[in-house]
Amino acid sequence: MSVGPDPASQDAPSRIDAAAWAEQARGRADARLAVTIADFFLDADARLDERTRLRLAQVLDGIVGAIETDIRRHAARLLANAGDPARGEAILKPGKPGGSVVARLTRARLLHDDALMGELVARVRHDLIADALPIAISGPDESSLLVRLASVPDSVVASAANALLASESRRRSANEAGTIAGSDLPAELHHRLVWWIAAAIRGDVDDTGGATVDRALVDAALRSLSAHDEGERPEAVAMRLAGAIEARPDELAALLTEAIGDRRLSLFVAVLARAIGVEFEQARRMTIEPDGDQLWIALRAADLDRPTIARIALALSEADPRRDIEAFADSLDAIAAISVADARAALAPLSLHRDFRAAMRALTRSERR
């Protein structure tokens, strides 16, 4: 990767400020060293493994690329319709010396957003665990849980099950192909990402005719926002299905273990979320964390017994090498001894609205200063 202008290049300036160039190079070297040192001292369980890192980069590039392509194409069409096809052609061609949109957003630290990256990391880890879960279906004549639900007489359940089959299939195909058709993000995150990308695209176009370009980009961004439907995400569809099933307390153990055995981790998370009264994102975080402590409390809050919790833990440990199944076995008796009432009381704060929880945390931090 180039770190400065190449004196031999035709594009290099005729006179180079050697002192400024050297200072910039030292600054970049210092920044790289700081990142390297920070990475070295990370705890092992905080560091991304290579498979997760690659998938995360793929998903992030795919989401940004899909939104970028949509905005560029529509803005170019608007400019052409307004009698400015040359500028429309220019907006279709990224590559101004600022680098790609992802690179520019990264340098601006916009992609360091906790909510955005937290969602993407959770999604990637969820999908990787789901793909690696052991299949519990015993033979070719046994239908999977989701296929059976898609065929039940209850049209609401069947419709939601079919929707989840389709939604998960789209995401799985996108993951396997390395292509993302759309952002597939919650509406709030999609909203901020669209405007960041539109602003980054604006930097690819010269300032002449700025008002026309700005209007085209704004209209293209608004079109992307209006077309986005977070209700089609597997997470949202799974919650609709869990609501349609409305499992009774005595049905939870069988439903959760069968969802795990069917590799339908989204359905497992959604059913658990409804059972203990938290949002999907909270239940997903409990499920993908390697130590599992919150998950075991959640399963006790759903009144699951010792053998059921053990089966779920074993399946997750086979899918996620970060989990310590021996440590879990040592603590299983203590987990099973937690009363349902105590487990529910421990999880009660998580049932509050996330914005309220965030506000409470912010207030507590400010009062400690």
Nearest to 193 by CA among 70, 339, 347: 70
Q: Closest by alpha carbon to 202, among 72, 61, 79, 86?
A: 72
Sequence-distant (6+) residues with CB within 8 A of 232 are: 167
Report which residue type is found at 123. Answer: R
* pLDDT tens readout for residues 42-71: 777 777 888 999 999 999 998 999 899 999
Q: Which residues contact 293 (CB under 8 A, 6 or more apart)?
A: none
- Is 244 exposed, middle or buried (CB count within 10 Å of its CB: 0-12, 13-18, 19+)? middle
Q: Which of 263, 331, 256, 252 is nearest to 291 (CA)?
A: 331
Round to whole Å and give the CA distance between 295 and 318: 16
Q: How far apart are CA 177 and CA 193, in angstroms?
A: 23
Minimal CA–CA distance to 128: which of 29, 53, 47, 203?
53
Return all residues near 275 (Cβ < 8 A) that are at least 6 apart: 247, 252, 301, 302
DSSP 366: H
pLDDT tens, N- to C-terminus, the chain (369 residues): 344 444 444 444 445 677 787 787 788 788 888 878 877 777 777 778 889 999 999 999 989 998 999 999 999 999 999 888 888 888 887 765 557 899 889 888 899 999 999 999 999 999 999 999 988 755 555 678 999 999 999 999 999 999 999 999 988 888 777 666 666 899 999 999 999 999 999 887 766 667 888 999 999 999 999 998 888 899 999 999 999 999 999 999 999 999 999 999 999 999 999 999 999 999 999 999 998 899 999 999 999 999 999 999 999 999 998 899 999 999 999 999 999 999 999 998 888 888 888 788 888 877 666
* Contact assessment for residue 323 and residue 316, using Cβ atoms and an 8 Å cutoff: yes
Contact at 8 Å (CB) between 220 and 70? yes
Q: How far apart are CA 308 and CA 314, in angstroms?
A: 10
Cα–Cα distance, 294 to 316 (Å, whole number):
14
Q: What digits encode the pLDDT tens for the residues 282-309?
A: 999 999 999 889 999 999 999 999 999 9
Global confidence as pTM: 0.84
Cα–Cα distance between 366 and 369 in angstroms, integer? 6
